[in-house]
Structure 1
């Protein structure tokens, strides 16, 4: 297993299969690349099936044990089932999706070997959903969650980006996962450094505080230094039917110190940090020797974004670390 210069082992990879999407979410940062989505037709610059599998085979050589397929919307790739089927057996396979195609494909993906799924679900309100996603596919997403559960992708984790337009729906979403067996909730801090509009950001610590009061039990995950909140239905003797977790990377050096992922863009570039695009590393013509070399270099050059790439100045403000950038 490869380690970077800060002792962080790389145990997982996130592979973007496309930057195409049938939604137009207002907070989208497209895996840190910016809102570069184009037409819905497959693009010539997307990695093909063999490219993706070849990379995963190399990653498995370095004991990477988990891959999450992302986009864009990865289910716009008609070869997704084949990619999942050909993923090395040693790697756990998961998918982040908007869920609209799951009703027709969940069973096939499970048959191919998919083990987990995250479905973007930002509000239990068709009107707010449409405002956030610029889509009228609310019912399709809800049906996709049901299809995933029926196919055996249990638990289904709902991804909710918490910002000005969605923050008011957090209590309802927490109750939703508490009341529905098989659902979990991942509250994701809005990232203005990637998506812009800093005025949309909310104080994520207030969400933590509210959840601590609402939860039946709070679990601390030492590996990622995250808190999990186990919640049960209100006014019920049942407890711990749902799990809520907060992903809060903004200005968080502890989060960065516990990052164990390398990303791959849909064009076949290795990306050591979500927040940076100055560290993209091409995998050449996708031969295994070239991939091995590029992967080693990417891991070697990984730097925690907050705490090293960005540091606090004397006034407590986050600024670029000139010593690192010059080096």
Structure 2
């Protein structure tokens, strides 16, 4: 099956599938006031509905699905969701993005269910600063969870660090931490959202200076894989770990877009910063609707814009990054 392709000839091998927008952390750049339950919000997709999403995208050429939230492990049926998607033969990799609070206890179980890669959010190596950023005193739990992922044999363990002004003071510590650990440390530029404009103005830091610094220190840019995310990956002969740099404000960032998103309530989002989303849930109620579901997904791609328009300060429908999986 040929991959989904938009009018700009970008191919989409990668689906970010949100399964909840609930999160138990209160990160300053995402949910500073904590999760606010919307009583009018539809229920989250069931295991069967999620399995039909995975099947439809898999038959349209998707090879990688990342389970996101909110915090995806807040779902009590998370292992069942992994197992259901793992049954789809065309999906070659199932990944998750997590705040890491359950990893120490569950990493080996999720690995057995079919999870193949883990991204852990970790914005500081200082326990006190971690508490300030996340609102949770769980630094040791997250660090234990990262070790548990390595022990469970995950072939890919990535650490997501939102690039903010305080991070430059900790760069040496982060680099020392990955020198003898097979982790991919990913610095992600802070992105502006509808509710985070003031925070963005205070804390945003361009990744360009960091890229120059890495190159000066002997880090080398690696070749990008077809189903990889948007990170520029750097390797160094003296380091077991790698560095990833995600710069959404780079002028060519959207040229290599290869991902689509489905929200936890069943809407297809062509861009993290797009508008209201395209309804899929009405076509997720039975196997007999699969052909119609695939046709709607394919036809929707003509609406995908060439860029996200962040440079113009347009943040679209993303009030916070937790809403459609960041």
- How high is the TM-score relative to the length of structure 1? 0.84
Q: Does 1:249 align with 2:248?
A: yes
Distance 1:145 1:222, change over 3 A: closer
Distance 1:136 1:85 in 2: 31
Distance 1:262 1:210 in 2: 32
> Where does residue 300 of structure 2 map in the other structure?
298
Question: Which secondary structure state, in structure 2, belongs to the residue aligned with residue 149 of structure 1?
Answer: helix
Distance 1:256 1:183 in 2: 26
Q: Could you say what the CA RMSD is over the residues aligned between the two structures, in angstroms?
A: 2.6
> Where does residue 27 of structure 1 map in the other structure?
29
Q: Where does the alignment leave 5 or more consecutive residues of structure 1 unmatched?
A: 233-238, 312-316, 321-327
Q: Offset of 1:220 from its aligned partner?
A: 4.5
Q: Offset of 1:18 from its aligned partner?
A: 0.5
Distance 1:36 1:291 in 2: 34
Q: Does 1:117 align with 2:114?
A: no
Distance 2:236 2:33 in 1: 35
Q: Does 1:318 align with 2:312?
A: yes
- How high is the TM-score relative to the length of structure 2? 0.84
Are 2:60 and 2:294, in contact at CA under 8 Å, matched by a contact in 1? no
Are 2:233 and 2:244, in contact at CA under 8 Å, matched by a contact in 1? yes
Structure with higher RCO (Cα < 8 A, 6+ apart): 2
Distance 1:39 1:193, change over 3 A: closer
> Where does residue 217 of structure 1 map in the other structure?
220
Q: Offset of 1:39 from its aligned partner?
A: 5.0
Q: Does 1:228 align with 2:233?
A: yes
> Where does residue 325 of structure 1 map in the other structure?
none
Distance 1:101 1:225, change over 3 A: closer
> Where does residue 140 of structure 1 map in the other structure?
141
Question: Which secondary structure state, in structure 2, belongs to the residue aligned with residue 273 of structure 1?
Answer: coil
Are 1:225 and 1:255, in contact at CA under 8 Å, matched by a contact in 2? yes
The count of aligned residue pairs is 298
Distance 1:168 1:40, change over 3 A: farther
Q: Where does the alignment leave 5 or more consecutive residues of structure 2 unmatched?
A: 315-326
Distance 1:211 1:2, change over 3 A: same
Question: Which secondary structure state, in structure 1, belongs to the residue aligned with residue 16 of structure 2?
Answer: strand
Distance 1:106 1:18 in 2: 19
